[in-house]
Amino acid sequence: MTAEFAIETHGMTRMFGDVAAVDHLDLAIPQGSIYGFLGPNGCGKSTSIRMLTGLLRPTSGDIRVLGESLPGAEEKLRRRIGYMTQKFSLYENLTVQENLEFVAQIYGLRRKEARQRIDELLSLYDLLGREKQMAGSMSGGERQRLALAAATVHRPELLFLDEPTSAVDPQNRREFWERLFDLCAVGTTILVSTHYMDEAERCHHLAILERGTKRADGSPQALMDAMGARVIEVTGNDLRTLKQQLISESAVMSVAQIGSRLRILIRSDVINPQEWLESRVSGRSLAEVRPSLEDVFVTCTGDRHVA
Ligand SMILES: Nc1ncnc2c1ncn2[C@@H]1O[C@H](COP(=O)(O)OP(=O)(O)OP(=O)(O)O)[C@@H](O)[C@H]1O
């Protein structure tokens, strides 16, 4: 295991009874990058993050975080990592200021240092003037900014974000990601879990998870380039009937209607997918298009997407 990786795991596994929530997961997460876990509910994202933060013991496997072994180094790592969960790690009945003071105290910041750091965070996260507001009365976007401020009070080297943007609108999501890139630019490594494709596409690297296992990993572009399917879009009439016909073909991995187009993933062992489709779409027009991350997700997870 080497220092260039903020996180390395080999065979990380967590059983709950007979269920493998995380099943022999190997990870190598480079320092100073934003790494995503992309997967549906229940695929093991939160369980993985809980093991990597030292909150949950693995059933088996090796884990190294910032060069330290887990289990064993939980206390040492506590001040070096930050953790923001999907349900916002905030006290609703405390004010903005009190929430930040409380976290600063937990991390052992001295009074003067805490005051300076909190002022800095209030300004950085657009919370000036809201110091006395109860966290419970804030909007989704404001709470999210406060939660990020709280998770970074102690300037962690490694930040874990478990579905951080589930409760906010697209505009707030975009702004939140700008803040993540600011943190990354000063050397923070970030591990973020999501089930949003657009969010996953912003990560430097990501792992696609399904039922506790890793189906693929790499940069979003590399994953799209390496996809084992070609993407063809068809326009024309009666797309619902065409979809039903195509979905039963073994060469077709997925068919999804997107507005007035049918997006079809065809296995890459079909030599000429356009020609193959032309004989089946009777007069409708078709064109090959570039794969998206959602296409990668569908091919990796074998989900015969029939939206
Ligand atoms: N404490 C627990 N006891 C029993 N089963 C659990 C426990 N925690 C998680 N699981 C199970 O482990 C699997 C993975 O759950 P996990 O919460 O890690 O998934 P997730 O990808 O984070 O999903 P979500 O987005 O819904 O949080 C699920 O089948 C879940 O029911």
Answer for the pair 229, 280: CB distance below 8 angstroms, yes or no.
no
- CATH for 5-223, among 3.20.20.450, 2.60.40.10, 3.40.50.300, 3.30.2130.10? 3.40.50.300
Q: Can you give the residue ranges of every domain in the chain?
A: 5-223, 228-290
So what's the pLDDT on residue 1?
45
CA of 21 from ligand 1 middle (Å) equals: 6
CA of 255 from ligand 1 middle (Å) equals: 29
Report whether residue 41 contacts ligand 1, using a CB cutoff of 6 Å. yes
- Looking at every residue in the chain, the average pLDDT score rounds to 91
So what's the pLDDT on residue 306?
39
So what's the pLDDT on residue 304?
45
- Residue range 1-53, pLDDT digits in tens: 455 899 999 999 999 999 999 999 999 999 999 999 999 888 999 999 999 99
Q: Which two tokens stand for residue 170?
A: 């697209």
Q: Round to whole Å and give the CA distance between 15 and 61.
A: 12
> Which ligand 1 atom is the nearest neighbour of the CA of 209?
21
Answer for the pair 68, 224: CB distance below 8 angstroms, yes or no.
no
With cut-offs at 50, 70 and 90, classify the pLDDT of residue 251: very high
Closest by Cα among 160, 153, 219, 218 to 189: 160
**Residue bearing the CA closest to ligand 1, atom 2:** 16
CATH architecture of 228-290: 2-Layer Sandwich (3.30)
Closest by Cα among 204, 217, 211, 303 to 256: 303
Report whether residue 39 contacts ligand 1, using a CB cutoff of 6 Å. yes
Q: What is the DSSP letter of 7?
A: E
Tell how far CA 306 is from the center of its chain.
24
Range with the lowest mean pLDDT among 28-37, 62-71, 283-292?
A: 283-292
Percent of the chain with pLDDT over 90: 74
Report whether residue 45 contacts ligand 1, using a CB cutoff of 6 Å. yes
3-state secondary structure of 130: coil
Q: Which two tokens stand for residue 48?
A: 């993985």
